[in-house]
Amino acid sequence: MVENQSDNIENKENDVSNQDNSPEDNLSVKDPKIRNDEISDQKTEEIDTEELKNTLSNNDARLEQLEKEHETLKNQYVRISADFDNFRKRQSRDQDDLKIQLVSKTLTAILPIVDNFERARQQLKPESEEAQALHRSYQGLYKQLVEVLKQQGVSPMRVVGQQFDPNLHEAVLREPSEEFEEDFIIEELQRGYHIDGKVLRHALVKVSMGPGKQNSQQEVEKDKVEGDVDSGVNTSEDV
């Protein structure tokens, strides 16, 4: 019986020893797998890091490309906007010029009527009461016509005493003058008009040749007369 107890004790010790040795054996078996997992995890991390670096590099390159495209599109927008603004201004100027041309054409056809009113006003000298009433009616119509021209931006030129300007005036006659210097306007033969600062109709004028021209012409005629007299005297002496 004592032997059986001793055997049981030995068996228990063996079991205990076996239990104590089994974890170490298990660890020794599992160590290669754990190391492989650790190596695999490390490689995975390295791959992930490399992929992240490549992704960041690609994103930087893409961002740089997008910035260049944005700058190009921005420059194109600025250029197109400037071209459109110039086109809009040019269209506005063309429309204004066309409007002025149409108005000028119409008003130019009316100006001879204004000239006739002007001439009639200078010639009419009403004496009777009936003639004066008619003259007042005529003056009322003339004022209405002038007011319409003013509303359209038409204004008459004042040319007498002004220096001749071919952009504004048209010289019909030139004659000597003691009162005005050369190239100054002596008389207005037909009134000129402006419209919005532009010439609607040139003024027909008489221009001074200056006092010197007349004196020199008189001296030439005097010298010619004296030459004729001297030649006559010489002829009589020869006879």
For the segment 150-206, what is each residue's pLDDT rounded down to a tens digit? 888 898 999 999 999 999 999 999 999 888 889 999 999 999 999 888 899 999 999
**pLDDT tens sequence across 23-39:** 444 444 445 556 666 66
Note whether residue 35 is domain-resident: no
Q: Is the dihedral of CA 134, 138, 144, 150 positive or negative?
A: negative
Query: How many domains in the chain?
Result: 1
Q: Is residue 5 situated within a structural domain?
A: no
Residue 147 within a domain = no
Whether 8 has a pLDDT exceeding 70, the answer reads no
pLDDT at res. 42: 66
Query: What 3-state DSSP class applies to 177?
Result: coil
Contact residues for 182 (Cβ-Cβ < 8 A; gap 6+): 208, 209, 210, 212, 213
Residue 19 lies in a domain: no
Domain assignment present for residue 166? The answer is: yes
**Domain containing residue 163: CATH number:** 2.30.22.10
- Domain residues for the domain of 201 are 155-239
In a domain, 135, yes or no: no
